């Protein structure tokens, strides 16, 4: 297992260790720095960070619960493949929750929230090239800000645990498709919120979160070894109707 220590994956000795190691490993898996089938050593990781094995073990358990790691007693821990059904389920649940979040925020737009979202859009637009890692962090911040503005921080924490497999697909898609299109979709969400357009905000966030479905066949074809695919034909995703837009 290779150990990386660039700035985003360094430990802050003043903060709790287990959440940091969990975040670092989660990001490395999502960003394909750790790939499906890679083995991760609890003892090597603990030694690398100068910590005991207990926080590493706890991080492994959390990531196994998210479907990112498979802990095999006496045989080691490996990075899992991306579960096809897990991606569809996580995307469906995320859309259901975030569509309501967008409606709540648009029903009573807060100028301070809109200003913050506009600031985040500017930061996204300022990214140089197709910087997938940087955009992933800004994208996470954007969606978390919407949840917090709706008073649904707890719901967002639930989403974070569920959407890990979807995040892996989203990251792979950023290597194949332009980030500009996703930023434009973010801007449309903010425009609809600022206008107090509840149906429009609902439609905009749903279309944005369905983008991954459009990309999925090409992503799988380019990264077949990353996926745990069902036998036979892949099922069509089930989606709710979009207010003011097509039922895609």
Q: What is the pLDDT of residue 236?
A: 62
Residue 70, strand partner residues: 78
pLDDT of 215 reads 84
Contact between residue 73 and residue 108 where contact means Cβ atoms under 8 Å apart: no
Instruction: Output the pTM of the full model.
Output: 0.83
Q: Say if CB 189 and CB 95 are below 8 A apart.
A: no
What's the pLDDT score for residue 74? 73
pLDDT for res 3: 47
24, 161, 182 from 42: Cα distances, Å: 14, 21, 37
CATH code of the region 7-80: 1.10.10.10
Q: Three-class SS of residue 39?
A: strand
pLDDT of residue 240: 59
Find, among 160, 27, 164, 159, the residue nearest to 83 by Cα: 164
Sort strands 39-40 and 69-72 into parallel, antiparallel or unpaired. Answer: unpaired
Q: What is the largest CA-CA distance in the chain?
A: 58
In this prediction, residue 24 carries a pLDDT of: 93
Q: Give the residue extent of every domain in the chain.
A: 7-80, 83-228
What backbone torsions phi and psi does residue 40 show, to the nearest 5 degrees?
A: -120, 130
pLDDT of residue 77: 93
Residue-by-residue pLDDT tens, the chain, 248 positions? 444 545 568 888 888 999 999 999 999 999 999 999 999 999 999 998 889 999 999 999 999 999 999 988 777 899 999 988 889 999 999 999 999 999 999 999 999 999 999 999 999 999 877 788 889 889 999 999 999 999 999 988 888 778 888 899 988 888 776 788 899 999 999 999 999 999 999 999 999 999 888 888 888 888 989 998 877 555 566 565 655 444 44
Fold of 83-228: 1.20.120
Would you call 197 helix, strand, or coil by DSSP?
coil
């Amino acid at each position: 297992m290779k150990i990386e220590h660039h700035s985003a994956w360094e430990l802050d000795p003043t903060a709790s260790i287990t959440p940091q190691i969990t975040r670092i490993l989660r990001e490395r898996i999502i960003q394909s720095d750790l790939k499906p089938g890679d083995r991760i050593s609890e003892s090597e990781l603990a030694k690398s960070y100068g910590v005991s094995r207990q926080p590493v073990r706890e991080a492994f358990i959390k990531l196994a619960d998210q479907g990112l790691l498979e802990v095999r007693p006496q045989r080691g821990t490996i990075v899992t493949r991306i579960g096809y059904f897990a991606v569809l389920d996580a995307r469906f649940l995320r859309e259901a929750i975030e569509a309501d979040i967008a409606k709540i925020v648009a029903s009573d737009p807060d100028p301070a929230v809109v200003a913050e979202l506009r600031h985040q859009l500017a930061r996204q637009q300022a990214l140089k090239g197709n910087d997938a890692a940087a955009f992933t962090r800004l994208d996470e911040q954007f969606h978390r800000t919407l949840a917090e503005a709706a008073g649904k921080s707890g719901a967002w924490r639930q989403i974070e645990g569920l959407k890990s497999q979807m995040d892996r697909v989203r990251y792979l898609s950023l290597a194949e498709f332009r980030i500009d299109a996703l930023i434009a979709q973010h801007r449309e969400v903010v425009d609809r919120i600022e206008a107090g357009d509840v149906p429009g905000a609902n439609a905009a966030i749903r279309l944005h979160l369905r983008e991954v479905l459009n990309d999925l066949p090409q992503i799988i074809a380019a990264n077949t070894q990353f996926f745990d695919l069902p036998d036979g034909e892949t099922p069509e995703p089930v989606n709710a109707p979009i207010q003011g837009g097509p039922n895609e």
